[in-house]
Chain A
Amino acid sequence: MASAKDATAPNESLANDDIGLDRRLELFRLQVEIRDCEKRAFDLFLQNLIKGTSHLSIGQEAVAAGFGVAMRKGDKSFCTYRGHAHTLARGASMEGMLGELMLRDIGLMRGKGGSMHLTSVEHGVLGSYAIIGAHLPIACGSAWRAQYLGEKDVSVCFFGDGTTNIGAFHEALNFAAVWKLPVVFVCENNLYMEYTPISEVTAVKHPAADRAAAYGLERIVVDGNDADVVYRIALAALEMARNGGGPSLIECLTYRHSGHSRADPAKYRPPGELEEWLKRDPVVIYRERLREFGVKQETIDAVEAESKRKVEAATEACKASPQAPVELLTADVYADGGWAWRN
């Protein structure tokens, strides 16, 4: 794994680097791996090896990576059906993630949940939620537990711009603010609520940040495609929560390169918009950032090559994996492992 020692030319900005090369390389690695893994998911879907639906995060890697590195082990994350990136960013394996999308036994939930419900408690991923807004109050509950037990973990909740108009968003924000809960609400504003521009359906310009004041919270809008920016704001919000300062609401501006889901060719985008945003591709930005900080090309190439190798290995492992045994059909409805509703 690359480290600070690989930098050849000391750079001025290194001296003022609050992030540090180790973490920078981590940020880069995560974004590259998320990108490569999501692109592989795209291909596997076309090959009908991934069935059902799949919501890709291509173009939104920086938010996941920024928070992924900022969060500690023990912090809890809750995300939406567009949760592949957040799951990988917390350290879940590629074969677990891809395997779940392919509905194989090797998947994180052995195929029981599918793409929209990625869960890895071991990595702090406490579920991906498909009903818009449902997990915001749930994140509040997790934060309440931390507050009650005096535990120091923070609950982080990721959602899209469309979520800001549903009832549960408002209930959760108010609830978290009133109880001063250690929860961070992260809105990935990718400008589109499914197929409709968010601006057409929201009363305010910034769907999350412009609501913060309603709950007594600070208005925060950041460039969601710069992993360093995301990382810094994440650290600040996490620390505030951890120290009893209460919740934050962070709006990260970003863009998704593909459609809402695999079924969506995204023809509703105005011409030129995608191209503009591709110039702000987070992976491209961060590759450049690493060079600015003197990271050698070989190091960068090694990370990217390793990522591709991992994706290949994961793909093969998933293709080789059988599907879950049929007993799983009725397993784990209840705590006793079964499904009996009668005697």
Chain B
Amino acid sequence: MAELTYRDAVARGIAQEMERDERVVFLGEDIGKAGGVFKTTVGLYEKFGPRRVRDTPISEQAILGAAMGAAMTGLRPIAEIMFADFLAVCFDYVANEMSKLRYMSNGQLACPLVIRTGNGGGVRFGAQHSQAVENWTMMIPGVKVVAPSSPVDVIGLMAAAVRDPDPVIFHEHKALYAIKGEVPDGEILDKLGTAKILRPGRDCTIVALALMVPRALAAAEILRQEHGVDAEVIDVRSLVPLDTQTILASVAKTGRLFTVEENPRLCGWGAEIVSIVADEAFWDLDGPIVRITTPHIPLPAADHLEDLALPSTSRIVDKVHRVLNG
């Protein structure tokens, strides 16, 4: 067992897979010699060399296109898109190319690659470098989407993503890079499509993702101590495939659902979960389902404003206990 930061876990996860499989290669901007702008890939260049860890020009379309061509012909590439916001620059490859390749070719072509990207806000980078965009990728049929919230999940889900035969978009959270967590020794392999109940409870279900997970957990603790509300907290982890069974079972138990989403309100990832629950679990609901989200605005750079925008622990506590006791 060791304590590892989230950012070091990224490097460890990639290294674990590159050691295991010669076909795993890694490309991106400043990922090699510089160890990544967020220092997430320190040591990989030294360990695996320039043949396997390649620095690219600032060419997001070429990065994703090349990853795709390599994946189609036999390699297992990991491509970095530095800031998740930049997915918009090369979104053709996510929306039109890698996601549809297998289907259009009737199964002749495959695309086993991983796009890892620095997602989310809370780091004062301003509107174009702070967005949480996992919902953009969730909506495209044909890709898989994960967003880990802890170092151990980073490693396990990275391994699962690399080994997955489909294109996986791996949303790391920039504001979580510095957090620490316990990580066991040896190989770690998790499963895509699985959510985790991090805190069991009876009064309500709170579903959260990435940065919102530690906030939901902190909120659950306050809810118990100050309001006598026993909340069950679920880390969704995987948006596609979605572990609906864990969420539905939880709602069957508690009868109440809240989501905590960093996405701006419209079409946030929680909207889909809410609609599934309102449909399949209608007769388990004892009250309205509530989404706690960032408002539908661009993000400001000013720290006090950004902190207001993203769902905070106190905003979560406030909303949950007001809705439950109303």
**Which A residues are closer than 8 A to B by beta carbons?**
76, 108-110, 112-114, 117, 119-121, 126-127, 129, 131, 134-146, 148-149, 155, 167-168, 171-172, 174-175, 178-179, 328, 331-335, 337, 339-343
Q: Add 15 more A-B contacts to A131-B96, A137-B63 (CB < 8 A).
A: A119-B108, A134-B65, A137-B61, A141-B65, A141-B72, A142-B70, A144-B70, A149-B75, A328-B106, A332-B107, A333-B141, A334-B144, A335-B110, A341-B241, A341-B242
Shortest Cβ gap from B95 to chain A (Å): 9
Q: Interface of chain B, helix or strand or loop or mixed? A: mixed
**Residue of A with least CB distance to B51:** A148
A178 adjacent to B57 (CB under 8 Å): yes
Verify if B128 is at the interface (C-beta below 8 Å from A).
Answer: no
Q: Tell which of B32-40, B97-105, B154-162 binds the partner.
A: B97-105
- 18 pairs, CB–CB < 8 Å, chain A vs chain B: A112-B103, A112-B106, A121-B108, A131-B92, A138-B72, A141-B70, A142-B73, A145-B70, A145-B74, A145-B75, A148-B25, A168-B61, A168-B62, A175-B59, A175-B62, A335-B102, A335-B110, A342-B242
B103 adjacent to A333 (CB under 8 Å): yes
Inter-chain contacts of A144 with B (CB < 8 A): 66, 69-70, 75
- Given A109-B104, A110-B106, A143-B69, A137:B64 Cβ within 8 A: yes
CA–CA, A157 to B97, complex, Å? Answer: 16
Which of B59, B103, B144, B166 is A174 in contact with, Cβ under 8 Å?
B59
B57 adjacent to A332 (CB under 8 Å): no
CA–CA, A167 to B10, complex, Å? Answer: 31
Inter-chain contacts of B54 with A (CB < 8 A): 179
**Residue of A with least CB distance to B25:** A148
Which of A126, A140, A145 is B65 in contact with, Cβ under 8 Å?
A140
CA–CA, A297 to B28, complex, Å? Answer: 58
Inter-chain contacts of A174 with B (CB < 8 A): 57, 59, 62
CA–CA, A119 to B105, complex, Å? Answer: 6
Verify if B68 is at the interface (C-beta below 8 Å from A).
Answer: yes
* Pair count A-B, CB < 8 A: 160
Which of B61, B64, B66, B109 is A127 in contact with, Cβ under 8 Å?
B109
**Residue with the greatest number of chain B CB neighbours at <10 A, chosen from A110, A131, A337:** A131
A134 adjacent to B74 (CB under 8 Å): no
CA–CA, A339 to B62, complex, Å? Answer: 28
Inter-chain contacts of A126 with B (CB < 8 A): 72-73, 109
**Residue with the greatest number of chain B CB neighbours at <10 A, chosen from A113, A138, A335:** A138
Cβ-closest 6 pairs across A and B: A141-B69, A137-B65, A335-B165, A141-B66, A113-B104, A171-B62
**Residue of A with least CB distance to B195:** A343
**Residue of A with least CB distance to B242:** A342
B66 adjacent to A175 (CB under 8 Å): yes
> Can you list, as one digit per residue, whether each of B237-255 has a CB less than 8 Å from chain A (1) or not (0)?
0001111110000000000
CA–CA, A242 to B30, complex, Å? Answer: 29
CA–CA, A87 to B106, complex, Å? Answer: 16
Shortest Cβ gap from A275 to chain B (Å): 38
